[in-house]
Amino acid sequence: MPVSLHTLLRSALLLFGLLSCASALAFTRTNAIALYGEPHYKAGAASFDFADPNARVGGTLTLPAFGAFDSLNAYAVKGLSLSMAADQRIWNLDMLNETLMAGSSGYLLSPDEPQSAYCLVCNYLEFDESYQWVTFGIDPRARFHDGSPITAHDVVASFRLLTQDGAHPRYFDMYRDILRVEATSNYRVTFYAKPGAGRQLLFKLGELPVMSAAFWKDRPFSDSLRVPPLLSGPYRVCRVDFGHRIELCRVENFWSRNKFFYRRQYNFERIRYEFFRDRTVAFESFKSGKLSAWVEYVAKNWATGYNFPAQRSGLVIKETIPNSLPANYQFFALNLRRAPFSDLNFRKALTLAFDFEWTNRYLFNSAYRRSTTYFPNTNYGARGAPSPAERDLLLSAGVEPDHEMLSTPFELPKTDGSGNPRPQLKMALALLKASGYHLKNSQLYTQTGKAVWIEFLVDHPSMTRVVLPFIRNLKKIGIGATVRTVDEAQYKARMDHFNYDVTVTSFAQAQIPSYELRSYFHSSQANTQGSYNYSGIRNPVLDHLLERLAVAQSLEEIHTITAAMDRVLLWNYYTVPQWYLGSFRIAHWARLQRPATTPPLSLGFPGWWIAP
């Protein structure tokens, strides 16, 4: 029986309508997200699980900061911001500006669950299943400290500020997949992304700090900022004396004070940072009661430096608090942008000359563990020989089939700890000779007859006691070396412009490795001023693995990718690994009290309080 044209048209229109409806409905609307699984905290949560009902509001927390600062803009390359001088393990000052979402990957850290986020400036987000657009609904109650509303237009302005010249390059790289952003109303803003951006895009956008468009309208964002910016968080800058101190005051009428993640948190009436040039002077200030707390990084001082009256009487409490936090990867960065560090054998020789076992025993009272992976204190690094999945991934990324990393476990050299690592130095010298270097009168020379000299750049005098024994070992294989200690301003300028041979620095690792690794290892960051690719790594295999990581669909896949990445990094000897500690060492005056339960991924410092 023939079908009429009218019937065909009706069927087509009905099908089109159904498809359109399906397309319109194929998105998610929520106020909380997790990278994998479900967020731990559900609607109606009273507070973080570890928040203490005994916490009291009031008092002044006084903390040390080191070096100097000349800018109140933490998002620009130019200038020294407070976050560079203060201890971020205690207080994350970069995030005094509230972000779109609060969570484990950004502002307010949820320190008892990995990679989750909850609406903060937003009250919901919507996204399609391919993550090619994300819409945030801005909470109409959200306010800056002057009472002005936070709108979608402030979000658009913040995005544009952070992706312009002069902003820190980490933001430009973080948002490289965003094609455009539009404020579709005063309280709705939509980001459009390139295909393949992946679920991690939600967390990148959730970390966007929301700044006041009106405040920055007539100010150059790339310059140092000498006046307090307009913020929206639980504290405001109430006093600043550049080079000496800065004071933050609690905002009583803070717009989101009753959100669950703020309850029993941020309890101090004031937070004061006192600046010091010398850590010894700062420690004496703590002992005298002028500082509330002291996080100890010097193992020798932790073992022998706390025998003073206040500690013996119990007025000062000394605690070692274990944690499951991914440890920072601390290392000697070898600048591959300069000869001779572009030579793999030369980098191997330097690794052989660093005697960690002696350093740990005699300088650190055997307090530390060697970092044998770029992911210390986690299970994301390489272990043993590569699994079949790792091997397949490495081959697909471009590793040659006969490369030893495909079959052999990576091992760092291990000395007898006597301080005379002759077997390791003998191997180092053989590697140097294989690369064409030669010894003459105890000095190493290149093939062209140039004497080999290198300089270590450090910004803390305490690090020289680690570097000088390293230099003595290098001298035994003919490498001349010096150490230069500079102040914070010089150090930042030289780091931003990669003006060093070897320097001591570290990488902060996320609870689940994610997009931050791109800023550390991707070729695009090797010559970007101010980037965190300190060694100047340019490796297409790593680039490929980083792209795979960005679209990983499961924790199992992330484990495979990061283990493979770890092998590439280790076998190329881009750095000389140092050490880590799987706990916090903190001393504090007894009037500064902490929750009975310590979260596994943080000191939980926003939840501490001053006893009345």
Strands 235-241 and 188-193 turn out to be: unpaired
Do residues 432 and 349 make contact, with C-beta atoms less than 8 angstroms apart? yes
329-580 has CATH 3.10.105.10 classification: yes
| DSSP secondary structure string for all residues of 324-388 | -PPPPEEEEEE-TTSTTTT-HHHHHHHHHH--HHHHHHHHSTT--EE--SSSTTSS-S--SSPPH
Helix (H, G, I), strand (E, B) or coil at 489: helix
What's the confidence (pLDDT) of residue 169? Answer: 86
Residue 18: pLDDT band (50, 70, 90) is very low
Residue 369 has pLDDT above 90, yes or no: yes
Neighbour tally for 527: CB within 10 Å: 12
d(CA 471, CA 145): 52
d(CA 565, CA 563): 5
pTM of the model: 0.78
Residue 3: pLDDT band (50, 70, 90) is low
Residue 23: pLDDT band (50, 70, 90) is very low
What's the confidence (pLDDT) of residue 10? Answer: 54
Q: How many CA atoms lie within 13 A of 137 on its CB side?
A: 12
For the ranges 75-79, 148-152, 160-164, 304-308, which has the lowest average pLDDT?
75-79
| DSSP secondary structure string for all residues of 161-215 | HHTSTTB-HHHHHHTTTEEEEEEEETTEEEEEE-TT--THHHHHHHT-B---HHH
d(CA 379, CA 324): 11
3-state secondary structure 28-55: EEECEEECCCCCCCCCCCCCCCCCCCCC
Q: Dihedrals φ, ψ of 520, to 5°?
A: -85, -35
> What residue ranges do the domains of the chain occupy?
329-580
Q: How many CA atoms lie within 13 A of 81 on its CB side?
A: 22
**What's the chain's average pLDDT?**
90
Question: Any bridge partners for residue 411, and if so which?
Answer: none
d(CA 593, CA 607): 9
What pLDDT digit, counting tens, does each position of 442-460 carry?
999 999 999 999 999 999 8
How many contiguous H segments (helices) and E segments (strands) does the chain have? 18, 26
What's the confidence (pLDDT) of residue 69? Answer: 78
Do residues 97 and 82 make contact, with C-beta atoms less than 8 angstroms apart? no
What pLDDT digit, counting tens, does each position of 93-109 carry?
545 789 999 875 444 45
Do residues 537 and 574 make contact, with C-beta atoms less than 8 angstroms apart? yes
- Helix, strand, coil tally for the chain in percent (to 5): 30, 20, 45
Report the run of H or E that residue 593 belongs to, with start and end: strand 592-593
Residue 351: pLDDT band (50, 70, 90) is very high
What's the confidence (pLDDT) of residue 358? Answer: 98
Round to the nearest angstrom and report the end-to-end CA distance of the chain.
Answer: 90
Q: How is residue 315 written in tokens?
A: 């007025």
pLDDT above 70 as % of the chain: 92
Q: What is the 8-class DSSP label of residue 232?
A: -
What's the confidence (pLDDT) of residue 603? Answer: 78
Helix (H, G, I), strand (E, B) or coil at 125: strand
What's the confidence (pLDDT) of residue 90? Answer: 59
Question: Any bridge partners for residue 102, and if so which?
Answer: 118
Do residues 216 and 161 make contact, with C-beta atoms less than 8 angstroms apart? yes
- Of the two residues 80 and 92, the one the predictor is more confident about is 80
What's the confidence (pLDDT) of residue 92? Answer: 57
Helix (H, G, I), strand (E, B) or coil at 99: strand
User: Average pLDDT in the 549-564 region?
Assistant: 93
d(CA 129, CA 28): 7
Residue 172 has pLDDT above 80, yes or no: yes
Do residues 469 and 366 make contact, with C-beta atoms less than 8 angstroms apart? no
Residue 313 has pLDDT above 80, yes or no: yes
Angle between helices 388-397 and 540-550 (to 10 degrees): 120
What pLDDT digit, counting tens, does each position of 566-611 carry?
999 999 999 999 999 988 899 999 999 999 887 777 777 888 999 9
What's the confidence (pLDDT) of residue 87? Answer: 65
**Cis amide bond preceding 340, omega within 30:** yes
Of 98, 182, 134, 76, the C-alpha closest to 529 is 76
Q: Dihedrals φ, ψ of 393, to 5°?
A: -65, -40
Residue 462 has pLDDT above 60, yes or no: yes
Do residues 477 and 429 make contact, with C-beta atoms less than 8 angstroms apart? yes
Contacts 24+ apart (CB under 8 A), 432-441: 432/345, 432/346, 432/349, 432/477, 432/478, 434/345, 435/343, 435/345, 435/346, 437/346, 437/478, 439/478
What pLDDT digit, counting tens, does each position of 72-88 carry?
888 888 877 766 666 65
Q: How is residue 420 written in tokens?
A: 């005379």
What pLDDT digit, counting tens, does each position of 45-69 carry?
999 888 899 999 999 999 998 877 7
d(CA 96, CA 104): 15
What's the confidence (pLDDT) of residue 83? Answer: 67
User: Average pLDDT in the 498-526 region?
Assistant: 92
Rg of the chain in Å (alpha carbons): 26
pLDDT above 90 as % of the chain: 68
Residue 114: pLDDT band (50, 70, 90) is low
